Structure 1
Amino acid sequence: MPQPGMPNMQQMMKQVQKMQADMAKAQEELKSEVVEAAAGGGAVKVEVSGELVFRSITIAPEAIDPDDPEMLSDLVLAAVNQGIEAAQELAARKLGAATGGLAGPGGLGGLGIPGF
C-alpha cells in the first residue's frame, strides 16, 4: 500500500510508457517533416529533415561567381546553419510536446536526441 504523499508507481509507469510512445511517434514524424532555409535572398536554399538529414541544396546560377568562390561558400554555410537551427527547433517543439516539456533544459538533454 502506497504511503501518503508517495507517488503511485503503477500510475508513473503508465505515464512513462505513454511518454515513450509519444516520443517514438514524434521521432517518426520528424523523419518526414522538412524545414527550408535560405541565404543571399534565396540564392542558396536548403531543405533539412527533422532528423537533421539534408534533403537538398539548391544554388541559383547567379550565385555562382568564378571570381568570388568565397561568397558562394559563405552563402552555403549560412543556409546550412539556418537549416540545422530550424530543424533543431522543429525537433524541440515535437519532442517537447511528446514529453510534456521534459526535453528542454535540464530534462532529456543527455540522451543524444538532436536539438537537445
Structure 2
Amino acid sequence: MKSRLPKGYGGNMNDMVKRAQEMQNEMQKAQEELEAMTFTTTVGGGAVEVVVTGKKELQSLTIKPEVVDPEDIEMLQDLIISAVNEGMRQVEERSDEDIQRITGGMSVPGLF
C-alpha cells in the first residue's frame, strides 16, 4: 500500500526538502568563511590583545610590558582570560548571526 499525502502537499514537501538542502549548503559556506576569519580583542585599555580564529583557536597573544607586574600575576591572568573569552564570544556571536541570516530564525532539527 502506498502512502499518500493530501493533494498539493507533495510539491510543498519537495520545496521544503530543497530549501533545507540550500540552507545546509549556505551553512557550510558560512562555516568555511567563519573559519577563515580572525577576531581581535583588547582588554585593559589595550594592555592585552588576543587574536582568535573562527575555528575558536587562539592565534596570538600580545601583552604590553607595563602590565607585567611580578607582584600582581593574578591581574595579568584575569586580563588574558577576559580577552580570550571575549574573542570566543565574538566568534560565537558571528556564528549565531550567520545561522539567523540563513534560516530566518527557523529551527530545523538535524540540519545544524
Considering the TM-score relative to the shorter chain, is it more than 0.5? yes
In the superposition, the TM-score normalised over structure 1's length comes to 0.80
Q: Cα offset for 1:108? A: 6.0
Residue equivalent to 2:13: 9
Residue 67 (1) aligns with residue 58 (2): no
Residue 44 (1) aligns with residue 44 (2): no
Unpaired segments of 5 or more residues in structure 2? none
- Contact 1:44 1:76 (8 Å CA) reproduced: yes
For 2:29 and 2:61, how far apart are their aligned partners in 1?
A: 28
Residue equivalent to 1:20: 24
Amino acid across the alignment from 1:43: A
Q: Please state whether the residue corresponding to 1:58 is helix, strand or coil.
A: strand
For 2:85 and 2:98, how far apart are their aligned partners in 1?
A: 20
- Of the three residues 79, 83, 96, the one matched with 1:79 is 83
CA offset digits 1:10-39 (Å, max 9, x no partner): 111110110010000000001111111111
Q: Please state whether the residue corresponding to 1:82 is helix, strand or coil.
A: helix
- Identical-pair percentage: 43
Q: CA RMSD in A?
A: 2.4
How many aligned residue pairs are there? 108
Shift in CA distance, 73/109, structure 1 to aligned 2, threshold 3 Å: farther
In the superposition, the TM-score normalised over structure 2's length comes to 0.82
Unpaired segments of 5 or more residues in structure 1? none
